[in-house]
Amino acid sequence: MGSLKRLYLANNLLTGKIPSSLATLPKLMELKLEGNQFRGQIPNFQQKGMKTVSVASNELEGPIPESLSRLSPNYFAGNKGLCGPPLGPCVPSLPSTPKVTGKKFSILYIVIIILIVLLILAAIAFEFLLFSRKKCKSRIQRTASSPEENSNKMVASYYRDVHRESSETRSHAKKDDHGKLTFLKDDIERFDLQDLLTASAEVLGSGTFGSSYKAVVVGQPVVVKRYRHMNNVGREEFHEHMRRLGRLKHPNLLPLAAYYNRRDEKLLVTEFAENGNHSAEEDGLEWHIRLKIVKGVARGLAFLYNELPIIAPHGHLKSSNVLLDESFEPLLTDYALRPVVNPEHAHMFMMAYKSPEYAQQSRTSNKTDIWSFGVLILEMLTGKFPENYLTPCYSSDADLAAWVNNMVKEKRTSEVFDKDIAGTKNSKGEMIKLLKIGLSCCEEDVERRLDIKEVVEKIDVLKEGDDDEELYGSDQGKAYSVRGNDQEGYSFTLDR
């Protein structure tokens, strides 16, 4: 092979690549491979005596080696993929463009198909969720419409779990604790877990601490609240704290009637409040009713301050924890539970930890409940749901008091009041006095905030109607003036 000078293999239908070994034959002068089906590129022939390399009519591609660029173009004709001298310059071949475009379009089609499938799945999931919510709503409505006939299975199941677990843990508890409710009120007829198990019940709601149920037991309606996250103290400390709460008696406190203690959950039993937590944004609360509620809450809160030697004696004061009896007398509930609630849960949900002082200094104060009361007052007057209840910590951007202050500064005080009380005759002056008290309770600076004694004194003197057309008052370095006018309404200015 080393002495091979001429190789003629034309028109033999040969396939594959041209052997690169041919480029290493030192004496090769003529090579004729035209009329075959060779593919790929032409080897780099470097023989000095090479006169002819004919590869016409094949399926070769790529640039022609520079050593062959002096040969006739006829030797390379019929190969659509070849380029370079003596043929035309090498440019991206036209056939390759549709392939790239085709790939792009293929990817695009795949993406579109995936998006369509995802949209279909999302639509199916939405329809299923909508159907489930309607079904759940229908079930709740049926239960609420006929509580005597529709005993709540979830409540019964829970009570069975309580009863079963209590039986399993008998060796870990005292006999008088085990399987029994501990009663704190003498004027309530006794019952046990079995009575709760067989009683008709309905779900009242579910909050940050647990679920509430109304049950009719031995002919008397009671509310059973199931608490989670209440393991901050030991068994004896929990019993002592419950007994302390059981001794609290005030017209504006919903008394704790009984409780049940187990390792992971607690049951607190209270009497049923006829009107529930009728919030200010619901219809039917006129000005004199709202004032009555505020006065009652102030008295109940003052009682807690006097009786409980703890900072923030309520700890979780908000409108949903103020219930109303049949005469719309307010009853505070969920009070003084901060000492027994798990700290991480308390810090996340309890109102005491949403106060300005906790956000600024990571501590609560003896005026923390005053701030919560101020938010409640503003809610009663404006009918607006405070974002303070929803935020994990205090934020001036989500503060109801900040919104009221801005409205006052813009001299738009008349727009602050809830439409259901704004038109009450001869009461605007008293409303504005209460508004001032609410803002003073919501002071970010604890030192400038009212204390409980001042709050009660100022609220107790409020009346349902105004005595004078012009009112003036001052409080801790701030001056408030109120002027009445039959045509222009009332304006409220705040001077610092």
Let me know whether 63 and 98 are in one domain: no
Let me know whether 107 and 159 are in one domain: no
Single out the residue in 240, 271, 302 at which a domain terminates: 271
Let me know whether 332 and 473 are in one domain: yes
Give the angle 30-32-37 at the CA atoms, nearest 5°.
150
Q: What are the tens digits of pLDDT across the range 415-459?
A: 999 999 988 888 999 999 999 999 999 999 999 999 999 999 999
Closest CA to 307 of 279, 287, 336, 348: 336
Let me know whether 267 and 296 are in one domain: no
Pair type for strands 322-324 and 330-332: antiparallel
Count: domains in the chain: 4
The residue to which tokens 């009519």 are assigned = 57
Using H for helix, E for strand and C for coil, what is the string for 107-154?
HHHHHHHHHHHHHHHHHHHHHHHHHHHHHHHHHHHHHHHCCCCCCCHH
Give a yes or no: residue 417 inside a domain: yes
Strand ranges (DSSP E) for 255-304?
256-261, 266-271
What is the pLDDT, as a whole number, of residue 339? 94
Cβ-contact 441, 458 below 8 angstroms: no
Give a yes or no: residue 281 inside a domain: no
Cβ-contact 402, 395 below 8 angstroms: no
Closest CA to 494 of 411, 372, 396: 411
Let me know whether 139 and 159 are in one domain: no
Let me know whether 399 and 436 are in one domain: yes
Q: Of the ranges 97-101, 209-213, 257-261, 391-395, which one carries the lowest mean pLDDT score?
A: 97-101
Of the two residues 335 and 185, the one the predictor is more confident about is: 335
Q: What are the tens digits of pLDDT across the range 213-228?
A: 899 988 889 999 998 8
Q: What is the CB neighbour count within 10 angstroms for residue 448?
A: 13
Q: What residues make up the domain containing 362?
A: 287-495
Mean pLDDT to the nearest integer, 20-33: 89
Half-sphere exposure of 174 (CA within 13 A, CB side): 9
CATH number at residue 237: 3.30.200.20
CA atoms of 170 and 177, how far apart (whole Å)? 9
Q: What are the tens digits of pLDDT across the range 38-58?
A: 999 999 988 888 888 999 999
DSSP tag of 48: T
CA atoms of 403 and 394, how far apart (whole Å)? 14
Residue 322 pairs in a beta bridge with: 332
Give a yes or no: residue 211 inside a domain: yes
Give a yes or no: residue 276 inside a domain: no
CATH number at residue 12: 3.80.10.10
Let me know whether 170 and 107 are in one domain: no
Give a yes or no: residue 280 inside a domain: no
Let me know whether 237 and 348 are in one domain: no
Q: Calculate helix-pair angle for 368-382, 400-409, nearest 10 degrees.
A: 60
Q: pTM of the entire structure? A: 0.61
CA atoms of 309 and 450, how far apart (whole Å)? 19
Give a yes or no: residue 278 inside a domain: no
Q: What is the maximum alpha-carbon separation in the chain?
A: 131
The type of residue at 64 is I
pLDDT at 142 > cutoff 90: no
Cα dist. 148→30, 201, 215, 241 in Å?
Answer: 109, 8, 9, 34
DSSP string, 206-255: E-SS-EEEEEEETTEEEEEEEE-S--SS-HHHHHHHHHHHHT---TTB--
Let me know whether 105 and 204 are in one domain: no
What is the pLDDT, as a whole number, of residue 483? 39
DSSP tag of 291: H
Averaged confidence pLDDT in the chain:
81
Cβ-contact 379, 393 below 8 angstroms: no
Let me know whether 266 and 387 are in one domain: no
Strand ranges (DSSP E) for 340-446?
none
Let me know whether 73 and 102 are in one domain: no
pLDDT at 36 > cutoff 60: yes
What is the pLDDT, as a whole number, of residue 491? 40
Single out the residue in 104, 125, 145 at which a domain terminates: 145
Sheet of 478-485, strands arranged across:
470-475, 478-485, 489-495
**68 contact partners, CB below 8 Å, separation of at least 6:** 42, 45, 50, 53, 75
In terms of Cβ atoms closer than 10 Å to its own Cβ (0-12, 13-18, 19+), residue 320 is: middle
- Residue 473: which H helix or E strand, with range? strand 470-475
Strand, coil or helix: what is 472?
strand
Cβ-contact 319, 376 below 8 angstroms: yes
Burial per residue of 111-136, b for 16 or more beta-carbon CB atoms within 10 angstroms, e otherwise: eeeeeeeeeeeeeeeeeeeeeeeeee
Let me know whether 122 and 261 are in one domain: no
CATH number at residue 313: 1.10.510.10
What is the pLDDT, as a whole number, of residue 220? 87
Give a yes or no: residue 246 inside a domain: yes
Residue 483 pairs in a beta bridge with: 470, 491
CA atoms of 436 and 442, how far apart (whole Å)? 10
Give a yes or no: residue 366 inside a domain: yes
